Amino acid sequence: MRNFSHKLKLSSALLKRLQHRVTAGNLNSPRCFTTTEGHRPTIVHKRSLDILHDPWFNKGTAFSMTERDRLDLRGLLPPNVMSSKQQIERFMVDLKRLEVNARDGPSDPNALAKWRILNRLHDRNETMYYKVLIDNIEEYAPIVYTPTVGLVCQNYSGLFRRPRGMYFSAEDRGEMMSMVYNWPSEQVDMIVVTDGSRILGLGDQGVQGIGIAIGKLDLYVAAAGINPQRVLPVMIDVGTNNEKLLADPLYLGLQQHRLEGDEYISVIDEFMEAVFTRWPHVIVQFEDFQSKWAFKLLQRYRNTYRMFNDDVQGTAGVAIAGLLGAVRAQGRPMIDFPKMKIVVAGAGSAGIGVLNAARKTMARMLGNTEIAFESARSQFWVVDANGLITEARENIDLEARPFARKVNEADRQGLKEGASLVDVVRKVKPDVLLGLSAVGGLFSKEVLEALKESTSTRPAIFPMSNPTTNAECTPEEAFSIVGENIIFASGSPFKNVDLGNGHVGHCNQGNNMYLFPGIGLGTLLAGARIISDGMLQAAAECLAAYMTEEEVLNGIIYPPISRIRDITKEVAAAVIKEAIEEDLAEGYRDIDSRELCRLNQEEINTFVENNMWSPEYPTLIYKND
Ligand SMILES: NC(=O)C1=CN([C@@H]2O[C@H](COP(=O)(O)OP(=O)(O)OC[C@H]3O[C@@H](n4cnc5c(N)ncnc54)[C@H](O)[C@@H]3O)[C@@H](O)[C@H]2O)C=CC1
Ligand SMILES: CC(=O)C(=O)O
Ligand SMILES: [Mg+2]
């Protein structure tokens, strides 16, 4: 709260309320950290080794001598009291040792070793772990998140040491309502849940998918400042259809095929009821559910619970922001977006999510009428594993049906049902080629050669599939084949390309990580009843407007990950504002909806900032229960 009133000239009544909120948070929840946490003690109900073994409270060698006395720690630690800065220096020496002989590149085998070292730190000292992650986010996001998190999921049986998060399995039916009370935290703000059925582009990983929920929540803490004591990764194990895992005696999940139909839904229903009973204000992010369930569950829960599907809705927003950036990068106004011809490879949860959102955005720009919505449809050409989707296809997925081209439209373009991607690109000459297919190398030399005939002055190539090996093409391939004048965005990080003439081919990371943390934080702080399309749209528009004209003209359409905390703050503020406008905001803690409504833009920004957790050690005070 330093300089708060001075800076924003807030009314003293409002200032008091905001100040009270921060204070009350600490007192009500002794383990709650906030930005002002460093100045207020935290009450703990344990001492001695119990403290050292609790990653939420542990400070390791940073416990001061007086604290060591107060908490019965004297003698349990080496005598030299270290500052947190020294602790991190010592840790980084260990972590960096791995890099001495490391070759470049995200798939380097050292990535897994780095993950192990970071994970051990996560297990023993959360504050320090998040400090390392936040201060070095560019370097370690690719370790705790895509691409390395994919490798972690695939090798989970071997890597598993200490459990993290909760596991609900098909065997727990009827027990979930009581099981949920086994989690030690009284307050949970954010749950990321997966059933492991489609982890990144790696298919069914069964129980091993918990790694993705952990990785996403790491970003919630690092980017959105959600208190790490209030996040909960969840794995719902309904079996796996991955035969390799089923045959592996060391596999840690249920060794049975996946539940289907009503049996499956009843497990997810029971889980939702249990977590919302214990934590009525929690937000649940569905992650990496196979498409057939992703859409059904989203429709089933989105009007009842505070939930969203990151792959369907988060990805859509990030892609829209990127597509609008691609329009601006041609020196055209965003309103030209409805003129873009877009080829999408992949009609799963992510591809269809993007198509629906892009169509709606175009329709809005064209006047938001039925006719506008209908005409926007004709900007898209969708190719899946069976080629171009037209109305001639038998058994089209319900979600893909609105994007099936009419047979006569396809004919006019010289295309048939099931036409190959290269033929579609050759004939359509799209402005944008976007991949959410999970097929590495799908944008082959031929496909990229065909894109050279694009009618766009600056074609956009978005190989958005993860992890790195599943990217539809590399930036080197894109820039060398299609030319320098492209916009490139991939789902997993790549290094910029040296184009050899003093020019740099910029590699953007088009990943839902730029939106989901802000969507979650904004929803939390607004106390929104549900997450509406308008809130998601506001998040996407905020990201789209974040980059300056100059950056966009230089091909930079997304912020670097080093700015993820800043963009997340802005996205959260945009989400809150929209929730207020839609009358969905019920307030957060002791800031009720009326007070929220009175906040101006600057005050909303400050409200967000003041409720983001930072990794600072609080002073610990022991109190008997
Ligand atoms: N960058 C980002 O933020 C995000 C990236 N993704 C990535 O998108 C990919 C797909 O995810 P989902 O849609 O959930 O998977 P999905 O399995 O539901 O869908 C995959 C789609 O690709 C199609 N496909 C398969 N082979 C193809 C081929 N040869 N040509 C054209 N299409 C082909 C399938 O028919 C299906 O329609 C994954 O790799 C995932 O990691 C997903 C969410 C966010
Ligand atoms: C990024 C993400 O959510 C995915 O690849 O599934
Ligand atoms: Mg995902």
Q: Which atom of ligand 2 is nearest to the CA of 513?
A: 1
Ligand 1 centroid vs 470 CA: distance in angstroms?
9
Query: How is 349-360 classified by DSSP, letter by letter?
Result: HHHHHHHHHHHH
More confident site: 76 or 25: 76
- The CA distance from 257 to 545, in Å, is 46
Q: What is the pLDDT of residue 18?
A: 39
Kindly state the average pLDDT of the residues 585-612: 96
pLDDT over 70, % of the chain: 92
Over the stretch 371-394, which tens digit does the pLDDT of each residue have? 999 999 999 999 999 999 999 999
Which secondary-structure segment (H or E) carries 268? helix 261-278
Range in 63-77, 460-474, 505-519, 527-541 with the lowest mean pLDDT: 63-77
Kindly state the average pLDDT of the residues 243-256: 91
Q: Which residue of 153, 288, 313, 469 sits with most ligand 2 atoms within 8 Å of its CB, as the best mutation to test the pocket?
A: 288
Q: Indicate whether this complex's ipTM tops 0.90.
A: yes
Q: Which atom of ligand 1 is nearest to the CA of 512?
A: 3
Start-to-end CA distance of the chain, whole Å, equals 31
Strand 497-498 and strand 432-435: the pairing is: unpaired
Over the stretch 492-525, which tens digit does the pLDDT of each residue have? 999 999 999 899 999 999 999 999 999 999 999 9
3-class SS of residue 531: coil
3-class SS of residue 194: strand
Strand 587-588 and strand 591-592: the pairing is: antiparallel
7 is catalytic: no
492 lines ligand 2 (CB under 6 A): no
Q: Looking at the DSSP assignment, which residues form a beta bridge with residue 283?
A: 190
Question: CB neighbours (10 Å) of residue 85?
Answer: 10
Residue 617 confidence (pLDDT) above 60 = yes
Conformational region of residue 483, where left means phi above 0, alpha means psi within -120 to 50, and beta covers everything else: left
Closest among 160, 177, 175 to 120, alpha carbons compared = 160
Question: pLDDT category, 318, cuts 50, 70, 90?
Answer: very high
96 is catalytic: no
Q: What is the amino acid identity at position 580?
A: I
- The CA distance from 332 to 556, in Å, is 15
